[in-house]
Chain A
Amino acid sequence: MRRKILRLLAVVGMAVALLSLSVTPALADTSQDVTITAQPAFMSISNAPTTWVPNDIVGDGVTPKGYISPDTVYHSNPLGDATTPSDPVVDGECRFTITNTSNVATDLTVNFPDHTGGDASTNSDLGTNGATTFGAYSYCTGMTYSTGKVIAKTTGSDAMKENLAATTDIKWGLTYESQTNAWTSGTNMVSTVTITATVYMA
C-alpha cells in the first residue's frame, strides 16, 4: 500500500512539473508590463537636387572650372561658387530644396562625412581646414550666415534648422573649404552628405 502511494505521488509530481512547464507564463517583464505610447505623427522629407560638385557654376568668374583648388572656400550658391551668402540668406543663394510634407515640426541636421577616393580628405569637424582636412558648414534660408551658419561635422552636427513647421519646405546650402595642402592623387573623391529630420521636441 505504501509503495503504491509513493508511486502515485511520483506520477502526480511529474505531471505537475510537465504541466507547469507548458502553461506557466514567464515572470520576466514583457510589453504587457511596459507602457508604450506613440502619437499618430509621420515624417516625410525629400531633397533636390541630390548632387553638388563644388566649383561647377559656369560664368561666375571663378576659374578654372571642374577643378577644386586647395585652401579655397566654395559655396553651393547658385549666384557663384565664391559668393558668400547674405545676411540673412535668401532662397536664391541655396542650391538645395527640402520638400517637407510632415505633419509635425522637425529639426534638420546636416552631416558631412570624410571623403573616400582620391586624397580622401577628412572633415576637421571644426569648420576650418588644415593639412589633409577640410571644413564644412550648412546654411539655410532666413539664417544670418555670418554668425549662424552651422558646422557640418562628420556626425552629430548641431541642427541647421530647429522647429521647422509641418508641411513647410526650406532651401539650404553647403560651404566647403578645401584642405590647405596640394592634391596628390589627381583623382576624384566623394562624400555622402546626409540631411536628417528629427521630430522637434522642446
Chain B
Amino acid sequence: MKRLFVVMLLTIALVLSVASVTGCHSYTEPAAPPPSTPETTLPTTPPVTTSPSGQQPVIPNLTIRPSYDQHWITPVVYEFHNVGAGSVIDTWTDTNTDPLLGHVRGQPLHLRLHNGNDVPATFWVYYRDNRESPRADFADAPYEVKSWVTISEEYPMLQPKETRDIYISVIVPSTAGTMPPQFEFQITVRTGIGEASIVKPEMNTRWLVTWKK
C-alpha cells in the first residue's frame, strides 16, 4: 500500500515536471515604465533604415524635432517578424535605443503621446477596424487579431505639454490558426475628444506583422 502511495507521488511529480516545461506559459507583467522624458535629444545620424522584410523603409528626417506646442505620437510604424502562435509581444527587443521613441531594449512596448495644448487634452487610442492607406503587400489583419491587442489606456487625458507612454501588447493565443504570411493592423490616435469640433485629426500607426513560416 505504501509502495503504491510512493509510486503515485513519483508519477505526479513527473507529470508536473513535464507540464511545466512544455505547455504552460505564465504572463509576466512588463517592467515598471520609465518616467516620461518630454525633452529629448535626437541622434545626429539616421539609424539603418533597411527593413528586415525588404519593404520600402520609412525615412524620417532626424533634423526635425517634435514641437512642444503640437500634439505628436511616435513611433508610427512597427514591424514584427517571426510572429507565431503563442507569441507574446510586449517588450522592445530592438537594440536601437532612441530617446525620441523612448524605447529601450527590455522596456514595455508603447506608443508615446504628447499633448501640445496649454490645457488638458483627451485622446482616443483605438484599434482601427478598416485600414487607411493600406499596404498592398500586406493583407488585412484577420478579424481575431483585434482580440490579441491590449491598449493600456484607451482615453488618456494628458495634462498641458505632458508626454505619456501608452502600453500596447500583442498576445497571440497558442491556438491561433493559419494566418496570412504578412498582414497589417493599425492603431489610431484621435485628437479633440470631448471638444466641440466636428473635424477631428487622427494620427494612425501601422503594425506590420510577418508570420512565422
Contact = CB atoms under 8 A, between A and B. Distances in A.
A complexed with B: yes
Interface of A: 3, 6-7, 9-10, 13-14, 16-18, 20-21, 24, 26-47, 49-52, 96, 98-99, 101-104, 107, 109, 155-157, 159, 162, 166-167, 190-202
B178 interface: no
Contacts of A104: 58-61, 76
B20 A20 contact: yes
Nearest to B63: A103
B17 A166 contact: no
With most chain B CB atoms within 10 A of its CB, the pick from A26, A156, A193 is A26
A195 B201 contact: yes
Contacts of B94: 36-38
Contact of B10 (A9, A38, A166): A9
A167 B64 contact: yes
Nearest to A51: B198
A14 B14 CA distance: 8
Contacts, number: 260
Tier of interface size on chain B: 35 or more
Among B51, B75, B135, the one with the most A-chain Cβ atoms within 10 Å of its Cβ is: B75
Contact of B16 (A21, A29, A43): A21
B151 interface: no
A56 to B, nearest CB: 13
Given A20-B17, A43-B76, A32 B201 contact: no
A36 B92 contact: yes
A199 B21 contact: no
A40 to B, nearest CB: 4
A164 to B, nearest CB: 11
Contact of B203 (A43, A52, A191): A43
A201 B55 contact: yes
A36 B83 CA distance: 10
11 contacts: A29-B82, A31-B91, A35-B52, A35-B79, A36-B109, A37-B78, A47-B200, A104-B59, A190-B198, A197-B202, A199-B58
A10 B132 contact: no
B101 interface: yes
Interface string B86-109: 111111111010101101000001
Contacts of A96: 199
B37 interface: no
Contacts of A157: 132
Contact of A51 (B56, B75, B172, B199): B199
Interface string B170-213: 00101000000000001010111001111111111110000010
B24 A38 contact: no
Given A35-B82, A201-B58, 6 more contacts: A29-B83, A29-B87, A30-B91, A40-B75, A41-B76, A196-B188
Contacts of A17: 12-14, 16-17, 20
Contacts of B142: none
B101 A101 contact: no
B79 A13 contact: no
B173 to A, nearest CB: 10
A159 B21 CA distance: 50
A30 to B, nearest CB: 5
B85 to A, nearest CB: 8
B74 A40 contact: yes
A40 B6 contact: no
